[in-house]
Structures are given as C-alpha cells and as structure tokens.
Amino acid sequence: MDKQMKFHTLFFFFFCILNLFSQEEDFRDWLPHEVEYYKNLKGLAEYVNARDKSDISKDTLFKKYIYVDSDTLKHKGTLYDMENFDTIFSFIPATIKKVGIQNLDAKPLRFYKQHEIYRPFQSALKRVVPFVMVYYRKERPDEPLGTLLFEPKTHKLHSWILLSQGDSGWYYL
C-alpha cells in the first residue's frame, strides 16, 4: 500500500471510531427544547439512581430538575407539601431501579403519533404535545412505558403521572 492509501485508511478508521463515540445520543430531527428536556431527564435519572431516599435532596430536585412554582411551595396543604411529594416522586426512582438506568431512554412524543400512547394528546392534551417526552426500555422503543410533561421555559420536569378521568378527559398530576 502506498502512503496516500495508508493515510486514507487510517483517517477513515479514526473517523469511524470518533463517529461511534459521538453517536451515544442521536438527536437527529429533535428540536432544541426537546434536547434540553432530555438532558434534564438524564440528569435527574443519574441524580436519583443508586441513592437512598434519604440522600435525595428536595432542594436539588426543585432547583435543577423538577418544576414547581414558588407560590405552590409556599402554601401548606398543596400537592407539593413534602409528605405528598415523597409519595408521588417515589415513582421515578422506583421505575429507574426496576428497569435499570442503562435500559431506559426517552424521546419526544411527536415521534409516537401512530401509537396508542398518543391518543390522549389528540384532543384533551393537544396543547402540551410539544412539552412531552415518552420514556421506554431501550430494547423496546415501540412499547412506551409512559409520558413526562416538561415546563417549557425552564425545561424542568413538570409532571410524570398521566391520569384518565374517564369521559372527563386526561390530566397530568
């Protein structure tokens, strides 16, 4: 092989390796705010993963990952008082522990328009579609586990439990 051929082969090999490592998260066809939601979700998952409940700081959760308006936190008896929050939030660490952080992934709801999970968003929750991510097991991306609502300005997680109220519609808790 001549020098030029060796150089091209070496360059191609180096480019392939570099490309493999840069493809860890493929955000092709994602909007900038969707990437921010994903990064927030990943940060949250990494923060709570392998931590005991007592080691998870609510201050850190609210400052970095979960959206709660300041008025809600000030009023006692709201959904976000600390006792209720612990119960509601426990769903997230339990899901991560059950499935395994390395096995979970998420992508924007708009990629699931042909899936049953999109049904509540066709009318009742149509206005929140741009702010919703779908999470799933990496080995089964076509079988979503659930949806997550993000606050558009801060990109923080706003809600992670979607409830059906029968004929009344769907609501995020």
Residues 5-58 pLDDT 10s = 443 343 343 333 334 333 346 899 999 999 999 999 999 999 999 899 899 998
Can you tell me the distance from the alpha carbon of 91 to that of 169, in angstroms, rounded to the nearest whole number?
A: 23
Can you tell me the distance from the alpha carbon of 3 to that of 101, in angstroms, rounded to the nearest whole number?
A: 46
Can you tell me the distance from the alpha carbon of 84 to that of 172, in angstroms, rounded to the nearest whole number?
A: 16
Is residue 168 pLDDT above 60, yes or no? no
Q: How confident is the model at residue 123 (pLDDT cuts 50, 70, 90)?
A: confident
Can you tell me the distance from the alpha carbon of 94 to that of 139, in angstroms, rounded to the nearest whole number?
A: 19
Tokens of 5: 């051929």
Q: How confident is the model at residue 2 (pLDDT cuts 50, 70, 90)?
A: low
Q: How confident is the model at residue 150 (pLDDT cuts 50, 70, 90)?
A: very high
Q: What's the pTM value of the predicted model, to 2 decimals?
A: 0.79
Residues 79-121 pLDDT 10s = 445 567 888 899 999 999 999 999 999 999 999 999 999 999 9
Residue 58: how many other CB atoms lie within 10 Å: 15
The residue ranges of every structural domain in the chain are 31-172
DSSP secondary structure of 84-112 = HHHHHHTHHHHHHHHH-GGGEEEEEGGGG
Give helix 32-48 / helix 91-99 axis angle, nearest 10°.
80
